[in-house]
Amino acid sequence: MGYKLKKSVRNVEIDDKTYQLRAGDVGILQLVLEWLKKASNIAPNDPSEVSQALDNMNKLCDDAKSIVTRAMGIEAAQELLGDGYDFASAIDLMSIISIEMTSKDNIDNLRRTATDHVKTLDTRAKVTPNVRLA
């Protein structure tokens, strides 16, 4: 018997185009939340820190491209972020990914998938008494 893995993909419309988001990859969400935290602390406190803040923004833009590539694919990352360093677009994309991945609908879908698998295991355990669930 062959198995088929369930994919947790959400269609997300951005700038009138639909992209697929790997909404079940919790590692992506963790990266996005860490990125947003760093981005929120990027503003320089005084003029002498402007150069360092710009370097940090460029680094965050590079990180955003990597995260979007993992979350939506290389084509989407290129279309949405291009080759430049548009920090505002990067913030928007990280926010969109975060909102989509933490939506009630997405969480419910993930929970439902897990629950379905537990029910399947419970059924198998009843049919095959030697199978023990931890």
- Same domain? For 78 and 23 the reply is yes
d(CA 116, CA 42) in angstroms, rounded, equals 43
- Same domain? For 29 and 71 the reply is yes
- Does residue 3 lie in a domain region? no
- Same domain? For 97 and 107 the reply is no
- Same domain? For 89 and 109 the reply is no
- Same domain? For 79 and 93 the reply is yes
Task: Indicate the range of 12-21, 28-37, 49-58 predicted with least confidence.
Answer: 49-58
Helix axes 74-81, 50-72, angle to 10 degrees: 140
- Same domain? For 36 and 60 the reply is yes
SS3 15: coil
Alpha helices, H only, the chain: 26-40, 50-72, 74-81, 87-101, 104-127
- Same domain? For 24 and 87 the reply is yes
Quickly state the pLDDT bin for 113 (edges 50, 70, 90).
Answer: confident
- Same domain? For 85 and 54 the reply is yes
d(CA 30, CA 44) in angstroms, rounded, equals 25
User: Do 52 and 69 contact (CB within 8 A), yes or no?
Assistant: no
- Does residue 1 lie in a domain region? no
pLDDT of residue 125: 56
- Same domain? For 79 and 45 the reply is yes
- Same domain? For 41 and 60 the reply is yes
- Same domain? For 92 and 31 the reply is yes
Please give the span between the terminal C-alpha atoms of the chain, in angstroms, as a whole number: 25
Q: What is the mean pLDDT of the chain?
A: 88
pLDDT of residue 43: 83
One-letter amino acid at 29 equals: L
pLDDT tens digits, residue range 42-90?
Answer: 888 888 889 999 999 999 999 999 999 999 999 999 999 998 889 999 9
- Same domain? For 82 and 110 the reply is no
Quickly state the pLDDT bin for 124 (edges 50, 70, 90).
Answer: low
pLDDT of residue 127: 53
pTM of the full predicted structure? 0.81
d(CA 115, CA 108) in angstroms, rounded, equals 10
User: Do 39 and 91 contact (CB within 8 A), yes or no?
Assistant: yes
- Does residue 57 lie in a domain region? yes
Domain residues for the domain of 129 are 103-134
Q: How far is CA 81 from CA 85, 93, 110, in A?
A: 8, 9, 28
